[in-house]
Structures are given as structure tokens and as C-alpha cells.
Structure 1
């Protein structure tokens, strides 16, 4: 049986936690480490023009962009603003045959297993100066190659799981609840195996999963059950004009072999240049105009904020806020989290001693003028009380009430 405290998370695949992570995955030498350095604004990672420049995963936290936090900071006149973060790992590049151990493949695949969401970087630009491990640029082949390696490794783990279940079944009474649960698990794994032999990921087996099915998959932590955002690494010009000669074929491939996955254009080269301009946005905008020969640019000059937000949405992460004169702070929780457990994200004592929560909806105050007067909000009925069964929503501004706990 699924523990009651975890049951709220089982509407989606993935580890039942508020502290989820993402990993950058792809073939060797497609711009993963350059992207990692750009999104983390760091010198971590090792972007180099040869395979396996990265061996051990690099880890960094990136700030989650939030217009809501910026607005709440102004409304409450807070002294400081504390955004949420997302942990990202730069994982070494895969090669053909990784699932069978080629190119340190087993190690790299195990590194992927420890993250919750996948940024799959695919090369969509041609350059004589940057070699491609497969000899030429072909995003469709690269997408298929990486997916095949992940599927093959999952099939290996799935086969091992089935063997273990069959051994337990032989020792379990047929009229016991455990026998029924293992039979259900075995049947699901057999159906998934047939689906994956067609080169498709577990996450695309069906759209509406039962709680029991999701509980089974989350227990095994399969690679292809993780949500994926495909990042097509293109030239600066292609990104600014949102065009690429491979894009239509990539979308067709995703629709057939990875339905539900999304492709986002970005340029590791342009993001690196964006950081070099060090927030001098006017100068960077002029630089971008020279790239597109003066054409109108309607695309955001950097793709990174959108890339971070897209991953959070794939991971089913939302934010609530605590605000006052000292600080305005953004907190991360999983969709479906109850008020007491949300309080526990701030401090475990708050969850144990939770009484109630005073809740202000962001949409009710975003158009008001600072400084906010909570007494006025109360008189207007804009402060609601939530109990232990209240499900926190994205954008909630919350003040938790609790009994005296440990200092």
C-alpha cells in the first residue's frame, strides 16, 4: 500500500519530494557543459572539443525567475528578496553502446538515474571547428541514439526486477495481499517491456496512470520514466529568429517516438555572450540586432529563464511565498502539497505543530499599490484561513500558525 502521507504525490511520475533535481543529458560534445556554465553563470564543467571532457557530474543551483516574487517584494517593502533555486547536474556525454558499458556508459547512465528531470541537449548547428562524435550533425539520429540507450538500460533493470518479483511470488501465499500486489507489478512491467521494445520511453506508455501504477514505477526509478525537455542547441541567429532547418523533423520525431516531450530552441553560444555582457541589456540587444541584420527581434534575448520554468513545470513544482518587512521569500513544493507539509518546507517543527494558515491569493493583491495594509485585506475578505486539508496553490502568500515547538 502507498503511505497516506505520500499519496498526494502519486498523480505524476517521479520521486515524491519537494527537492527535485534536473540533469543535462546528451551525446558527448553537443554543448552540454557550455549550456551548464551559461545557466549557472559559473566556470564549472569542462566545455572542450573532445569527448568525455566531463567525467564526474558537476552540480550547481540556479535561481528560479519569478515575476511574482519581484512584485511581492515591492508590495511588502521587504528589505531583501530570496528566490527559490533549482539544482542542475552536468552529466558526462553518452555514446553509442553506453547501455552495454561503452565509453564509461554504465557510470553515466547511473548518474542520470539520480536526477528527477532531464534536459536533453541536441546539436542543431553545423561547424567545422567543433567535431561531432558521430561524424556529422543529425539531430534525429542523436535523439534516437540517446533514447535507445536509455531504453536499453531500463529494459535491463526491468528484467532484473521481474526476476526478483518472480522469486518472491514463489514464496508468497496466493491468497495474501502481497501476492496480489506483486502480480499487479509484474503485469505492469511486462506491458511496459513490450512497449519499450518499440523504442519508446516508459513515460509515454499512457497518459492516465493509477496511483498503484505510479507507485510501482517510482519505486524502481527508471530512466525513461523521467520527464524530458529537449533543448535544441542552435546558432545565435536561429535562436533569435526562432528557426532551424532541423526543427520540423524533430517535432515529427517527437510526436511519433516521444509524445508529450517538448523541444525548446536555445543557443549555448549566445547565452555565453549574454553573460559576458554582464546585464548591460542595451548593449547586448544592439549586439543581437547585428546578428539578425537589423530584423525585429520578438524572442527573449535569453532562453534560460524559460528553460528553468519549463523544467519546474515538468517536475510538477510550484511556489508559495512568505512576505513581510524583513524579507520576501519564494518556497518550492510539489503540486498537491497540503498546508502542514508546506509549512514543513520552512521548518520541520512547523509541520509537527501546525494549527492553520492565513492565505492571500497573489491575483488578489498584484494590482494594489504598496505598502500593503493587511488590515484592509482582512476587511475586504482577501485573507482566507486554511486548515490541515488545504492544498497549497501556486502563488499563495501564506502566514503559518503553529503551537510552540522546539527553539
Structure 2
């Protein structure tokens, strides 16, 4: 699963990507489309629960959850019609599972805005409209084929045509598809189309160093908009984060303290992106390692076991589960078991965020 970093040109996408992945390879020139092919990187998801578990179960190594990020070139108005190499860039967005839209919320005469002025809501609108127009093209192309197949009485084709028309009607109201409620069957039918305005979105407001908490008027505009569409907003100063990422750990903490930050803003961004993708973590803990494993919210115990190894899911018998609170109260697993706090769950168990697990399998 991966998230794509998108936005208009010159809003700080590549700077943010480089800071997140601690990469120095991507270009950062002050002109549109300096990112042609998408750059990819793996980012650890900071989780303070790992350190809390390690306090009671000291391991040889600690392994956090990870997130794959893709830095996609800037989108401009008319991208759905091919403007600014738009078709190629939109195809990259089609491949990701969630969208992190970087929105410029700072003024700097030395950094040219593609529209000639800094207007975060206009930037959001440009990207949203282009994604919806591209989705409409996809659906318009797919409908005739689905209708032809439906004439034969094929139930799957009939269902596909119905969902396509439902999505078209929704887009005609100028609303992205993520606001359209589809049942699981409809979602499965439409999933192969890679509809972009259906993907979950997170707004990353790129602020200057005087507004690290995102209290300025431009960020507040984005917050108000995001609240209406049910999205989250994370303020980040990409320039500062890039500088912090290049420092040694001791110097990094000193710079964070001087900036009034308890941790890099990118840590909060990674966690927010993880949530936007619909992920949660469970843990395994032992002498060799304490590890965070990634599962979708709603995953069952066998599905969670399958993340470790497919054989675990196939031969799943049961899972022994306890919580971090139990560990901090009783100090070790033996005491947790003696206190009757170690739960034994079967195949129907739905995993909870933060579960600490031992899987038993055949």
C-alpha cells in the first residue's frame, strides 16, 4: 500500500518527500515539472508504543511499521486534457492508494507560484477538478463496454454498468467520489478502474517558519475546507524539516527545541498518512524483536497472521492477545497470564489497534 504526494508545481512536494525519506536524489529546481518520473521512498511510522513495550520486553532489535511514498510531479489546470504532461502524471496517481496533497500556505517572492498568486483553496480546487474530470473520462470510456456485456444477461456486467452510472451521476454534481457512499459489493465492482477522486486524501499545508502550528489565515482556510469534506490537515514547514533531516541526531534535537517542536512534524505526517490509508498496527514482542505490523482497520486475526507469513493465515488456530496497558500494569507476560488478562481469540476476532499478539498455527 502506498500514498502519493501530489500538488501544483513549486508547492514543496519534492522538498517534503526528500525530508520524509531523507533522500537527496530528487531535483528541487524552481520551475514546473522538475519531477518527471515519480520518486519512491519508504518511511518509518513513528510509534511511541514500541518504546513502551521494549521497556518490559527488551529485544535485540525494534522494527516500526513502514509507509511507501511516491513523489508525483506537479498537476496544473488542464492536466486531464494533457496539459503539463498531465496524462502521464495522473496515471501515476491512479496507482497509489491514498493522496497527500501538499498545499502552499506561505508567501515567498523568490518561489514562483504557477498561478501567479498563493491561494490554497484555489490550489485544492484545481487538483480536485482534474481528478474528477479524469475519473469522468474513465467512466465514460468504460460504460459502453459494460452495457454491451450487460445485454447478455451477465450479472457482473449489469452490476458494473449500474455502479458506473451511479458514479457518473455523483461526479455530475461536482463532488469527488470519496463522498459517494458505496456498499462493499459496489466498491469491489468499481475498484479496478483506479478512480482517483475516490481515494482518501490528506492535506499537508506547507507553512513558513513563523507558523509551525498552522494558525495562520491560509491554513485556517484549508482546515475549514477539510472539515467539510472529512479530511485531516497536517501543517509542515518543508524547508525546516529538510534542514532537520540532514542533521545528526544530537543536533536534530537541539534544532527541534529551538523551533519549539517536540518531534519533527514529519512524524505526525507519517502517522496521519497511515490513518488516511485505513491502517492500524498490532505488535509482536519477544527477545529477538519487537515489531509493529500493518493491517487494515477491520482485519480479522487470520488476516493479521497472514501479514507475517501466508502459512500463518492458512494454518491459523488461535491468537493470544493482550494490551499495552496490561503489560505496563503487570510488567511481563507471565504475570499477565496469571492475572487472567491474556485473551484467547479465534478466527472471527477483529484486530484492535495496539494488540500485542502470539499466533498459534498448524
TM above 0.5, yes or no, is: yes
Is 1:32 the counterpart of 2:13? The answer is yes
CA deviations over 1:283-319 (Å, ceiling 9, x no partner): 214532xxxxxxxx4x645211111111111211111
Q: Find the residue that maps to 1:284 and give its secondary structure.
A: helix
Distance 2:233 2:350 in 1: 31
CA 1:271–1:368 in structure 2 vs 1: closer, same or farther (change >3 Å)? farther
In the TM superposition, residue 381 of structure 1 has moved relative to its aligned partner by 0.7
Q: Find the residue that maps to 2:32 and give its secondary structure.
A: coil
Distance 1:366 1:154 in 2: 49
Match of 1:261 in 2: 231
Q: Find the residue that maps to 1:237 and give its secondary structure.
A: coil
Is 1:270 the counterpart of 2:229? The answer is no
Aligned residues: 361
The structure 2 residue matched to 1:352, chosen from 314, 325, 335, is: 314
Distance 1:366 1:182 in 2: 54
In the TM superposition, residue 368 of structure 1 has moved relative to its aligned partner by 4.4
CA 1:61–1:286 in structure 2 vs 1: closer, same or farther (change >3 Å)? closer
Distance 1:49 1:122 in 2: 16
The structure 2 residue matched to 1:287, chosen from 236, 258, 266, is: 258
Q: Does the aligned pair in 1 maintain the 2:40–2:71 contact within 8 Å?
A: yes
Distance 1:52 1:232 in 2: 20
Is 1:190 the counterpart of 2:165? The answer is yes
Q: Find the residue that maps to 2:69 and give its secondary structure.
A: strand
CA 1:377–1:252 in structure 2 vs 1: closer, same or farther (change >3 Å)? closer
Unaligned 5+ segments in structure 1 are 1-19, 289-296
The structure 2 residue matched to 1:230, chosen from 203, 226, 245, is: 203
CA 1:147–1:322 in structure 2 vs 1: closer, same or farther (change >3 Å)? same
CA 1:351–1:254 in structure 2 vs 1: closer, same or farther (change >3 Å)? closer
Aligned 1:4-403 pairs, distance under 5 A: 20-170=1-151, 172-173=152-153, 178-179=154-155, 181-206=156-181, 209-240=182-213, 242-254=214-226, 259-279=229-249, 280-285=251-256, 287-288=258-259, 297=260, 300-369=262-331, 372=332, 374-403=333-362
- Compute the TM-score of the two structures, normalised by the length of structure 2: 0.94
CA deviations over 1:3-56 (Å, ceiling 9, x no partner): xxxxxxxxxxxxxxxxx1101001111100000011111213222101111111
Q: Find the residue that maps to 1:238 and give its secondary structure.
A: coil
Q: Find the residue that maps to 1:92 and give its secondary structure.
A: coil
Unaligned 5+ segments in structure 2 are none
- Compute the TM-score of the two structures, normalised by the length of structure 1: 0.84
CA deviations over 1:302-359 (Å, ceiling 9, x no partner): 2111111111112111111111111111111111212222111111122222222111
CA deviations over 1:157-192 (Å, ceiling 9, x no partner): 01112111111122x13xxxx33x544443333232
Distance 1:34 1:161 in 2: 37
In the TM superposition, residue 147 of structure 1 has moved relative to its aligned partner by 0.7
Distance 2:206 2:320 in 1: 45
Give the superposed CA RMSD: 1.8
